[in-house]
Chains A and B, each alone.
Chain A
Amino acid sequence: MNRFFAVFRKYWKLYGVFVRNSIMSQMEYRTNFFMSALVQLAHMLTKLTYVLVIYKVDQPINGITPDEMLIMIGTYSALSGVFVSFFLFNFDGLSGQIQRGSLDSNIVKPVSLQFISTLQHVDLAFATVSVLAGGIMIATGWYRAGIAVTPVKLLGFLLFTISGIFLTYSIFLIPNILCFWTIRSRGISDVVGKLWDFNNMPMTIYSGVIKLLGTFIIPVFLITNIGGLFVVDKLEPWLLVWSLVAPILFFALSCLLWKQGMKRYVSVSG
């Protein structure tokens, strides 16, 4: 157990260095930071149009009121920026690194190759805007729905949200790992990336194949809905268990695929 914490501390510290380096490099090009924030702000507007329509109609969908939906849409909005800031740029660059053989420089470092290759770059502009806007939505929905702010609810919401971020990493990394076999996996990544947008609306509106796909096969619904469902007391026990098991299962799968993929890595020009 002590060894686990020691490793965790080491990687946590290393991640802090990555974040610090990224901020320093971004501050050299401040205009880019504001441009990224502007893009995220525009995307937030699209999400807000859905909120506006829901409030205009003002009726519950499958037992979830507009205020309760706002908590879930707010979580989705906040995590959209987190996804872009912490994961997307790293994942998008992976295919290029494999093509150019530039993973070589990371292989020789005394840390996990998967860790360094998939988490090295951070662009905080997206997360700053989305966490702020999403946070306001969550707080507004929470307040308007008249839900008591208790330590259990707050902690539960945070736990499920963090677990969602953990799951995001694995779900969206897996299609990119396929580059080891296909060199280019843009098409698959784009399609999986588009599935993320299904969280624009709470998972309770979906049914049939989409619900099955988004809950079990590519469980994007577990990322942004579980915290909200827990807060509004509408989280079914099986979903609670699955939402805690899935991140571990998918993380293990991503590690396994990464290891298999590395066996096919050819240092083309490195």
Chain B
Amino acid sequence: MTKYVKISTISFSNRLEYRSDLFFSLFSKVFPFIIQVYMWKALYGGSADGVLLNYSYKDIMLYTIITLFVSALLAVDVHYKVAGEIKDGHLSRFLVQPLSHMQCKASEYIGEKAADFVFIALIMSIVLVALSAVGWLKLSFLAVLKFLGAMAVGISLQFLLFYCLSAAAFWIGECGGVFTAIGVISSIISGAVFPLDVFGPEMLIISRYLPFYYIVYFPSNVLIGRVSAVEFWQGLAVMAVWFAVLMASKHVIWKNGMKRYIAAGG
């Protein structure tokens, strides 16, 4: 356990060292945010009753602001790193070291996310307090606690999903294109671009059965207060099921992938 804590600590320090990366990753999300702000402002400007797609202007802006932070916290690049290790043969060192590859990557991820959290939580707290002060958001200790819980499981699901995906490198040499494509699609169906219900009730029903729903849309709505107590616990239960499914899938995929590993260049 100590060795994984040490990996997390190193990863945390490294991330703090390269703060500009985090700044640019946050900054790159600001532009789509500005586009959406203008788009919604223009659309609501022509609305007679101030309600579009079952959202008031305040609600849609609240969702857009909160998902900006949530998706910044969820940024993941483990699949690119692992695929590089598989391709270049660097995975070999994990085979001889007394380390679990997944736990090692998870520890690195936790360390990086902890560093991101320090910055994002600081900015997010200021924004949330401001939103609460103008009456847009009803903040309570319980809502924040539930949000943090949902986020913690959401971040774990995100890691597991992309860790499973990274095994594609055992079969495909250059999988950067596949990763980018899946990353873009994942951001749409997780609700990072628009709330899922604006695409219609069918989309919402289907997405409830997918893990992506629980990564951005669910935690964001928990904080906004659009998720009842029953729905929250139901959501957590589905997340737990997905966690178990992904862990089992990871085991099968990696077991089969390792049979194809040739340690080229290692």
Contact = CB atoms under 8 A, between A and B. Distances in A.
B53 interface: yes
A206 B38 contact: yes
Contact of B42 (A46, A52, A205, A210): A205
Interface in B166-188: 173-174, 176-178, 180-185, 187-188
Contacts of B198: 53, 56
Contacts of B28: 190, 194
| Chain B interface, DSSP helix/strand/loop, else mixed | helix
Contacts of A57: 43, 47, 52-53
Interface string A219-259: 00000000000000000000000000000000000000000
Nearest to B27: A191
Interface string B58-94: 0000000000000000000000000000000000000
A93 B55 CA distance: 45
B141 interface: no
A100 interface: no
B177 A38 contact: yes
Contacts of B46: 59-61
A32 interface: yes
B266 interface: no
A205 B44 CA distance: 11
A210 B177 contact: no
Count class of interface residues, chain A? 35 or more
Given A60-B46, A190-B24, A198 B177 contact: no
A201 interface: yes
Given A201-B39, A205-B42, A32 B199 contact: no
Of B24, B45, B176, B177, most A-chain CB atoms within 10 Å: B177
A56 B53 CA distance: 8
B39 A45 contact: no
A195 interface: yes
Nearest to B28: A194
Count class of interface residues, chain B? 35 or more
B57 interface: no
B187 to A, nearest CB: 8
Contact of B35 (A54, A61, A198): A198
Interface string A22-47: 00000000011011101101110110
A133 to B, nearest CB: 14
Given A35-B176, A194-B31, A198-B31, A53 B194 contact: yes
A45 B182 CA distance: 11
Given A57-B52, A197-B31, A210 B38 contact: yes
A208 to B, nearest CB: 10
Contacts of A151: none
Given A42-B184, A190-B28, A49 B193 contact: yes
Contacts of A41: 181
B39 A59 contact: no
Contacts of B174: 31-32, 35
A39 B193 contact: no
Nearest to B48: A59
28 contacts: A35-B176, A35-B178, A39-B177, A42-B180, A42-B184, A43-B184, A46-B184, A46-B187, A49-B193, A50-B39, A53-B39, A53-B194, A54-B43, A56-B199, A57-B43, A59-B43, A61-B43, A61-B45, A61-B46, A190-B24, A190-B28, A194-B28, A195-B31, A198-B34, A198-B35, A201-B38, A206-B38, A210-B38
Interface of B: 24, 27-28, 31-32, 34-35, 38-39, 41-43, 45-47, 52-53, 173-174, 176-178, 180-185, 187-188, 193-194, 198-200
Q: Closest 7 interchain pairs by CB?
A: A35-B177, A42-B181, A42-B184, A205-B42, A194-B31, A61-B42, A39-B180
